[in-house]
């Protein structure tokens, strides 16, 4: 009886040792960036309130319009200018009635450097209808996470330039304020127009 118990204990210990050697992967936290927002597996979108150079702005202010939402920052060397130029090109290809139904928003993920005034000066360079928005880090993280975007500040040091890695998608929000689609970085203005016009058609035909 004692031998049987001993054999069972040895077998159990051996099994635990094998599991620890080959299967167990402890969570050390290495390589993780905990400074960014929580990203849900299924982004829900939804209303939010931030600040422009002219005061508070909420997504719900634009119910009845299709909203183009883009996350970036004004010091971005290439990704943001590329996408905002594409967005501006699509808006320029629309007729006046279509443009009135679109509101593009640029949300900064770099609130330490992007003041409301700087944001306005930046977005107006691309298109007059663009609105630049900022807020506290907590407020920005909430919006970023809600839309399934992401960002990470790289090598930030005091009084030194730094870059921000960020999602480069353009998010399309319909006239009821629902997130319906995202357009990937590198898309053409024709692709964006193709995604927007079906959302506009019903309202314009009334």
Q: Up-side HSE of residue 101: CA atoms within 13 Å toward CB?
A: 23
Q: Is 13 exposed, middle or buried (0-12, 13-18, 19+ CB in 10 A)?
A: exposed
Residue with tokens 């930046």: 122
Cα distance between residue 110 and residue 145, in whole Å: 15
- CATH superfamily placement of domain 49-204: Glutaredoxin (3.40.30.10)
User: pLDDT at position 205, please?
Assistant: 55
**Higher pLDDT pick, 27 / 169:** 169
Nearest to 193 by CA among 106, 87, 97, 96: 87
Which distant-in-sequence residues (6+ apart) come within 8 Å of 111 by Cβ? Answer: 134, 135, 136, 137, 140
Would you say the C-alpha torsion 7, 12, 17, 18 has a positive or negative sign? Answer: positive
Residue pLDDT, tens place only, 95-138: 999 999 999 999 999 999 999 999 999 999 999 999 999 999 99
Residue pLDDT, tens place only, 172-191: 999 999 999 999 988 999 99
Residue pLDDT, tens place only, 135-156: 999 999 999 999 999 999 887 7
pTM recorded for the entire structure:
0.78
């Amino acid at each position: 009886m004692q031998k049987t118990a001993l054999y069972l204990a040895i077998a159990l210990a051996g099994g635990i040792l094998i599991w620890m050697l080959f299967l167990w992967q402890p969570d050390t936290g290495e390589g993780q960036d905990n400074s960014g927002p929580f990203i849900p597996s299924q982004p829900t979108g939804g209303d939010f309130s931030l600040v422009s150079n002219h005061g508070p702005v909420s997504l719900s202010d634009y119910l009845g319009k299709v909203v183009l939402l883009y996350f970036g920052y004004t010091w971005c060397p290439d990704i943001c200018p590329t996408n905002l130029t594409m967005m501006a090109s699509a808006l320029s290809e629309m007729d006046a009635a279509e443009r009135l139904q679109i509101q593009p928003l640029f949300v900064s993920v770099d609130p330490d450097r992007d003041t409301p005034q700087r944001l306005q000066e930046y977005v107006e360079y691309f298109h007059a209808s663009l609105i630049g928005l900022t807020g506290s880090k907590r407020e920005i993280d909430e919006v970023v996470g809600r839309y399934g975007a992401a960002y990470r500040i790289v090598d930030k040091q005091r009084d030194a330039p730094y870059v921000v890695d960020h999602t480069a998608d353009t998010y399309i929000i319909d006239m009821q304020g629902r997130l319906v689609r995202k357009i990937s970085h590198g898309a053409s203005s024709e692709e964006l127009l193709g995604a927007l016009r079906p959302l506009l058609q019903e309202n314009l035909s009334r």
